[in-house]
Structures are given as structure tokens and as C-alpha cells.
Structure 1
Amino acid sequence: MQVDDIRVFIPSKDYETSKSFYQALGFKMDYVSEELTLFENGDCYFFLQRFYNHDLANNLVLQLSVLDINEAYQRIASLEGFAFKYKPIQEERWGKVILLWGPSGELWQITEFIASEQIA
């Protein structure tokens, strides 16, 4: 089997708020249906769904690889009007990471890898 792509479906506690949050974070929104929205940034995509399950949302972890962690941190730190939390940039042996919990409790590990340590 040769895989071409993989896309996650993220639950939303408040669909409209989550859509606005991801747009403010820098993702382009594309309507799919009343229950599903596709978000894109570069060659990366995910679906936001009008569905919420507390256990799923609070155990969902996604890794987002970025080229400039400082730019990502500035964007996150400037977000206003959303119920979310984040931790400052942390140094790891394989790169730098920001932990970001979205409005539904989903956890994003926003990562800038050291070039030779990139995990595929």
C-alpha cells in the first residue's frame, strides 16, 4: 500500500468558534458541508467536524511541523477572544515545541525539528 495523504477529523465543542480559531491561527477554510469544514495551510489539511465527544477531544494529540517556531509562537500569543491555552517554546533534543490546546481541548504539538532529527 502506498499512502498519498492522511487527514484527521477534529471534533468541535462550538463549531463556529473552532472555525474562527483555526482561521486566526493561519489556516484557510473551505466549506465542505454543514457538518464538515476543510482547513489548509500549505500542503497540510485537516477536517473540522460539527461533532463533539469530550473523551475524544481531550485525548486527541496532533503534531504540526513548522519551519519557524518563533513565528508560530508570535501568532499564537497574539490570538484574542478564544478559550484556549498554550505553553511557551520548549527546547527538546530533537527540536523546539509549543503545546497548544484548542477551543475543544485538542492538543497540538507545534514543532520545529532540528533538520537531522525530523521524525517522518
Structure 2
Amino acid sequence: MHSTDIRVFIPSKDFAQSQQFYQALGFSKESVNDELCLFTCGECTFFLQNTYQQDFAENLMMQLIVTDINAAYQQIVNMGDLARKYQAIKNEPWGKVVYLWGPAGELWHITQLLA
């Protein structure tokens, strides 16, 4: 098997709000149909789906690797009310990370890895 990509399907509690959240975070949106959007930032892509299951959403975690954690953190701060829950930059053994919770409870580990 030769694979070229892997994409997660992220749930949304409020489809419109989640779309706004991810666009404010810096992703561009392409509508697939009324229930599904494809979001892209650089080489990274994921699907946002208009479905919600609380247990799944609140246990879903993704890691987004960035080259500049300070710029990523400023992007999050600039989101205002759309970024309701996040933590300041933390030093972890693998690099620097900002923990950001999405509108459905999904947790993003926005990480700048150690060089």
C-alpha cells in the first residue's frame, strides 16, 4: 500500500459556527455539499461534517504542526470570541504547544516541534 494523505472528519455541534472558527484560524473552506466542507491550510486538510456526537467530539484530538508558534498563538488571540478556550504557549518535551478547543469540544494541539 502506498498512501499520500490522511484526513479526519471533524464533527460540528453548530455547523456555521465551526466553519467561522476554522476560517478565522486560517483555513480556507471548500464546500463539498450541504453537510460537509473541506478545510485546507498549507498541505493540511480535514473535513468538517454537520453531525455531532458529544462523546466523540469531546475526545477528539488533532495535532497541527506549525513553523512559528508565536504567530499561531497571535492568530488564536485575534480570533476573539470564536476562540473561547485555549491555553498560552507551553513548553513540552517535544516542543512548544498551544492547546485550543474547537466549538464542538475537539482539542487541537498546535505545536512547533523542537528543531
For the superposition of Structure 1 and Structure 2, which TM-score range results when normalised by the shorter chain? over 0.9
Show CA shifts across 1:49-106 (max 9, x none). Answer: 0000000000000000000000000010111232630000000122100000001100
Letter aligned with residue 86 of structure 2: Y
State whether residues 61 and 107 of structure 2, in contact with CA within 8 Å, keep that contact through their aligned partners in structure 1: yes
Distance 1:79 1:63 in 2: 19
What is the alpha-carbon distance in structure 2 between the residues aligned to residue 52 and residue 31 of structure 1? 18
Distance 1:6 1:101 in 2: 21
Q: Give the corresponding residue for 2:108.
A: 108
4+ long deviations beyond 6 Å: none
Q: CA deviation at 1:22?
A: 0.3
**C-alpha distance in 2 between matches for 1:84 and 1:47:** 22
Letter in 2 for 1:103: P
In the superposition, the TM-score normalised over structure 2's length comes to: 0.97
Aligned length: 115
Answer yes or no: is 1:75 the counterpart of 2:75.
Answer: yes
- What fraction of aligned residue pairs are identical, expressed as a percent? 57
Q: Distance in 2 between matches of 1:55 and 1:62?
A: 16
What's the TM-score, normalizing by structure 1? 0.93
Q: Match of 2:103, SS?
A: coil
Contact 2:101 2:108 (C-alpha < 8 Å) held by counterparts: yes
Unaligned runs of 5+ in 1: 116-120
Task: Please provide the CA RMSD for this pair.
Answer: 0.9
